[in-house]
Amino acid sequence: MSHGQDERTHQAILQGATLGVLGSGQLGRMFAIAARRMGYRVHTLSPESDSPTGQVADQEITASYEDLDAVSEFAKRVSVVTFEFENVPSATAEVAARFAPVRPAGQVLHVSQHRLREKSYLAEHGFPVTPFRAVRSAEELQVAIRELGCPAVLKTAGWGYDGKGQAKIHSASEALSAWERLGTNETILEGFVDFRLEVSVIGVRGVDGQFAHFGLLENSHSNHILDVTVAPARVSARVAAEAEAIARGVLESLNVVGVLCVEMFLTHDDRLLINELAPRPHNSGHLTFDANVTSQFEQQVRAICGLPLGSTELLRPAAMANLLGDIWANGEPRWAEALRLPEVKLHLYGKSSARAGRKMGHLTAMANSADEAERIVREARRRLMG
């Protein structure tokens, strides 16, 4: 870090400044909405145009992340750079850091965008992770399967999200076809975890080390894509406190400034194992926009600008249901039918075309209990489809 940047790090970035976002999807869109509400300007850079973030940003720059000249120009015009998409090359973060603070730092991205680096880092620092082995050849895969047993999951080491780049192996005889299907010589084999629940903690850490979190969130997935999140998670107070402590430890260990989500498995005997990290706001935290005093997106703004963090108090139990492109299969969804449930909030991301599996928006509902919030949000989504 250059001396000049070091001096900038401890001064708050005040209203009227321009915040830069690498990536331009729905996370950036909600970040931009929060930033503009607080009086900031927002620039976004990604290979897309008319993007969800670009539609609400002050300026949308369409360029490849590898176009380091474009990245330099982008970083020169903003007071701080953050991410809404972690699969940004580390060279991009390094170039941006010459002109503006990058938060979270490129090092956090470097660890968390690569499954093998991430698991190795967490294991070396004493965090509970799923059993794993590095696998770089079909022969190493056979050895790893003997050590970890089956079923197991083979994953590409880099650039994966929403279940992309992974294959479940039920028996040693399936190993070769799984290896060939992934088509890379850098993979990780993870022991299969027979979990009771998938949960996440979204943590946020300020420039001064102040820490906040949104409690333990309970997640259910469909086809490897988050389907429904419920807050608070329906677990014991001990499990919730332990998950929050693990998340805090991870953010402090990595020296995160900004938002980071720790996704975990809860086993049948109530052990928590980290599945993966996301160094940005997270799909499971979308309900915080409606259900918490301060959303994960506003916290991202506050943290990267060196402002005090806001209260994360949950106003009422809440649930969020993702809306994928599949909902458009029979034409325009029946928005009015879903909105007849007065507790329901609709968020659409401004994406031009609906494709199966593509995240198009979400619904949130608040109620007197987590069970009731989940029932309402599932019913609202069912009504959309007639």
Per residue in 227-282, pLDDT tens?
999 999 999 999 999 999 999 999 999 999 999 999 999 999 999 999 999 999 99
Residue 175: which CATH number? 3.30.1490.20
What is the tens place of the pLDDT at every residue in 137-192? 989 999 999 999 999 999 998 866 556 788 899 988 888 888 888 888 899 999 99
pLDDT-above-70 percentage for the chain: 96
For residues 311 and 217, membership in a common domain is answered with: yes
Binning pLDDT at 50, 70 and 90, where does residue 123 land? very high
Is 378 a domain residue?
yes
For residues 11 and 156, membership in a common domain is answered with: no
For residues 76 and 175, membership in a common domain is answered with: no
Is 303 a domain residue?
yes
Residue 61: which CATH number? 3.40.50.20
What is the tens place of the pLDDT at every residue in 343-362? 999 999 999 999 999 999 99
Position 258 scores a pLDDT of 98
For residues 13 and 156, membership in a common domain is answered with: no
For residues 282 and 158, membership in a common domain is answered with: no
Please enumerate in sequence order all residues whose Cβ is within 8 A of that of 279, keeping only pairs 6 or more positions apart, or say none. Answer: 83, 86, 104, 108, 109, 112, 256, 258, 259, 260
For residues 240 and 139, membership in a common domain is answered with: no
In angstroms, rounded to a whole number, what is the distance separating the alpha carbons of residues 56 and 138?
47
Residue 217: which CATH number? 3.30.470.20
What is the tens place of the pLDDT at every residue in 276-332? 999 999 999 999 999 999 999 999 999 999 999 999 999 999 999 999 999 999 899
Is 122 a domain residue?
no
Is 329 a domain residue?
yes
Domain closes at, from 173, 191, 209: 191
Domain holding 19, by residue range, is 3-102
Is 2 a residue whose pLDDT tops 50?
Answer: no
- Residue 294 CA from chain centroid, whole number: 17
Identify the burial level of 261 via C-beta atoms within 10 angstroms of its C-beta, where 0-12 means exposed, 13-18 middle and 19 or more buried. buried
In the DSSP assignment, the letter for residue 316 is S
For residues 232 and 364, membership in a common domain is answered with: yes
How many domains is the chain built from? 3
- DSSP states along 46-72: ES-SS-TTTTTSSEEEE--TT-HHHHH
For residues 233 and 313, membership in a common domain is answered with: yes
**Are residues 76 and 99 in contact, defined by beta-carbon separation less than 8 angstroms?**
yes
Position 4 scores a pLDDT of 39
For residues 176 and 201, membership in a common domain is answered with: no
Position 90 scores a pLDDT of 87
For residues 135 and 254, membership in a common domain is answered with: no
Is 110 a domain residue?
no
Is 10 a domain residue?
yes
For residues 377 and 245, membership in a common domain is answered with: yes
Q: Which of 325, 337, 341 is nearest to 373 (CA)?
A: 341
Position 69 scores a pLDDT of 98
What is the tens place of the pLDDT at every residue in 67-121? 999 999 999 999 999 999 888 998 999 999 999 999 999 999 999 999 999 999 9
Q: How many CA atoms lie within 13 A of 345 on its CB side?
A: 15
Identify the burial level of 225 via C-beta atoms within 10 angstroms of its C-beta, where 0-12 means exposed, 13-18 middle and 19 or more buried. middle
